[in-house]
Structure 1
Amino acid sequence: MIDVTIANFEAEVIEASMQTPVLVDFWAPWCGPCKVIGPILEKLETEYGGRFKLVKVDSDQEQQLAAAFGIRSIPTCVLLMNGQPVDGFMGALPEGQVRAFLDKHVPGEGELVAEAEEAAAQEALADGDTETALERLRQAVQADPENDDARFDLVKLLLELGEDDEAKVAFAPVIAKAAGVRRLDSLKRWMDARDAQAEVTEPEARMAALDTAIAANKRDFDARFARAQLLMAYGQWTAAMDELLEILMRDKSWNDELARKTYIAVLDVIEPPKPKVAEGQVPPEDPTVASYRRRLSSVVLS
């Protein structure tokens, strides 16, 4: 628990809330209900183990802050996340109601563990340590099975390492919702391409046959899509997108927009993790991804 004034409000509340939810308790020494809820808040801050930060503002001493938040009675608690108030309550609520309020917004223990493991995995990947990254991502998914970003990264890395069977096992818990979650759908399309490639006994001969079919009929979209899938399976991403663009330039709606959806899947798969940047800044975009996004927009909107 930290006492906040106008002097340290920016650092202790606004900036801190960019990383962790901050609960601001507006109180006064003469306020009886404040003395009731204060210990409850302090107890929960300890119990939640860093999942939120508690600060106290003496409304009598810091009238400017109280006015800025429109405080009309005390105690009043305001929760800030990412620099903005998101919720609050007035009065000395029972512990159970305060806990329920916090649980609506504060990340669970599993979520925090998953975020830490995910960050560690990305650091390991940056250092070229795929073994550590893989283990960290497994831990992230285990800690928070609902974390689709961690699961995406785990399945993606397994596929990159050629561990298709384990990738399918890791993907199985979310397969039912994949059609409604774009990045998961993108993984499914990549896995479908790899499964299609696995049935090809002579890849070079298959590619040559597809090239021949396309040369004979540039609108043989089945051949073009099969060629794009084969290229995806072997990680030849830009060549795969080039082939998909050939379909889009001739027929944007072919086969329920299969070419466009698969093109977007490739972009999702090849896009590297966004680096952390200072507030207000936009992280740089991968030049290949940016270029091929522009090409897609140009074709689709033409």
Structure 2
Amino acid sequence: MIDVTIENFESEVIADSANIPVLVDFWAPWCGPCKALGPILEKLETAYGGAFKLVKINSDDEQQIAQAFGIRSIPTVILLKDGQPVDGFMGALPEGKVREFLDKHVVAKVAEEDAPAEEAPASDDPADVLERLQHDVAADPSNDDTRFAYVKALLNADRIDDAKRAFEPAAPKAGVVRRVDALKRWLDAIDLAAGGTARVEDLDARIAANKRDFDARFARAQLLMAKRQWVPAMDELLEILMRDKAWNDDQARKTYIAILEIIEAPRPKVADGQIPPDDPTVATYRRRLSSVVLS
């Protein structure tokens, strides 16, 4: 990978593209998707064994080059042969899609015996999972399911500030998309706990004095949410629902549903025609909610 400026553009890009395809990555230091795509391009340059040359151009510093190529958004990647652009793409594509793009134009120079028999399974290490999810969100920012998984993983890793930044683009959807609403309620609970205005001891005393102090019960449920104590939090919300199903514009029920959304694991792939089993905790607490709401 080579950093190209106006001074070396002619030699590193135009001249070299007569001998080898040159892949030009237009990026900028402030661009989040660029940071996701860059390592993928560098990895593939190595994996393809010199079948193409990768260069990077900082579009902020080299505006003359960016304008010459008509760059309107970044990351933008352009492939040149014989001094001419032949193809390109915009956005942080996942590795598989970048490979598809490259395979249309270049042939990897990797000895057959060196090629792996099959792709290694994805790592379950939390750091690797977070990195994959970050790439996926950068590649498809509008995918609410992927963003939900990414923000949830960040919160489970106690990376609260990162989770808040990752959540921001989806925040306007909180009123209409259930998973986004679930994340907002979890973040609100974390903010309440961090603010220190509600203490479990004080809330317990209020509830002992008045079992219908729903504000205290709801705040207690939020503190439990902040600690990821999901079952006790749902139990507290059930105490509200059993006494007042519609309390405070249905906040207890909505928060209860949000917790179920957070704790329900993705269903595994199964053979055609089979129905995967429900998570036992989720199934139990869905029944309890139905029992209370419909009674």
What is the aligned partner in structure 2 of residue 149 from structure 1? Answer: 145
Pair 1:263 & 2:253 matched: no
Runs of 4+ in 1 over 6 A off after TM superposition: 109-112
> Are the equivalent residues in 1 in contact too, given 2:92–2:135 (CA < 8 A)?
no
What letter is aligned with 1:297?
S
User: Structure 2: which 5+ runs fail to align?
Assistant: 1-89, 98-118
What amino acid is aligned across from residue 149 of structure 2 in structure 1? Answer: D
| 8 Å contact from structure 1 (residues 111, 147) kept in 2 | no
Q: In the TM superposition, what whole-angstrom CA distance separates every residue of 1:136-191 from its partner, at most 9, and x where no partner exists?
A: 00000011111111100000010111111111111111111121000110000000
* Distance in structure 2 (CA, Å) of the matches to 1:217 and 1:115: 59
Counterpart check, 1:286 vs 2:285? no
Q: 1:185 aligns with which of 178, 181, 187?
A: 181
Give me the whole-angstrom Cα distance separating, in 2, the residues matched to 1:112 and 1:298: 46
C-alpha separation between the residues in 1 aligned to 2:96 and 2:212? 46
Structure 2 counterparts to residues 101-180 of structure 1, below 5 A: 113=94, 124=123, 127=124, 129-180=125-176
Query: For 2:215 and 2:249, how far apart are their aligned partners in 1?
Result: 13
2:234 matches 1:241: yes
Superposition pairs for residues 30-109 of structure 1, below 5 Å?
none
Which of 273, 278, 296 does residue 289 from structure 2 map onto? Answer: 296
2: CA distance, partners of 1:285 / 1:212: 37
| Structure 1 residue 113 displacement after superposition | 3.9
Q: Distance in 1 between matches of 2:200 and 2:149?
A: 30
Q: How much has 1:114 moved relative to structure 2?
A: 9.3
Percent same amino acid at aligned positions? 64
What amino acid sits opposite 2:153 in the alignment? L
Q: Write the distance in 1 (CA, Å) between the matches of 2:95 and 2:245.
A: 39
Cα distance in 2 between the residues matched to 1:115 and 1:298: 47
TM-score (norm 1): 0.58
Looking at structure 1, the residues matched to 268 and 164 of structure 2 have their Cα atoms a distance apart, in angstroms, of: 28
Q: Distance in 1 between matches of 2:186 and 2:95?
A: 25
* Cross-structure match for 1:277: 270
Alignment: residue pair count: 185
AA of the residue aligned to 1:181: V
Question: Structure 1 pair 174/252, CA: closer, same or farther in 2 (3 Å)?
Answer: same
Q: Which has the higher contact order (CA 8 A, sep 6+)?
A: 2
- Residue 110 of structure 1: CA displacement? 7.9
Q: Aligned to 1:179, what secondary structure does the other structure show?
A: coil
The aligned residue for residue 77 of structure 1 is none
Counterpart in the other structure of 2:245: 252
The structure richer in helix per residue is 1
Distance 2:94 2:178 in 1: 24
CA distance, structure 2, for counterparts of residue 279 and residue 207 of structure 1: 48
Q: Could you tell me which residue of structure 1 aligns to residue 214 of structure 2?
A: 221
TM-score (norm 2): 0.59
Q: Is the 8 A contact 1:155 1:171 kept in 2?
A: yes
1:31-80 alpha-carbon deviations (Å, 9 max, x no partner): xxxxxxxxxxxxxxxxxxxxxxxxxxxxxxxxxxxxxxxxxxxxxxxxxx
Q: What is the CA–CA distance in structure 1 between the aligned matches of 2:202 and 2:271, rounded to whole Å? A: 51
Deviation at 1:283, TM superposition (A): 1.4
CA distance in 1, matches of 2:215, 2:96: 41
| Mapped partners of 1:223, 1:123: distance in 2 | 44
- Decide whether the 8 Å contact of 2:92 with 2:138 is kept in 1: no
Gap change, CA 1:123 and 1:189, over 3 Å in 2:
farther
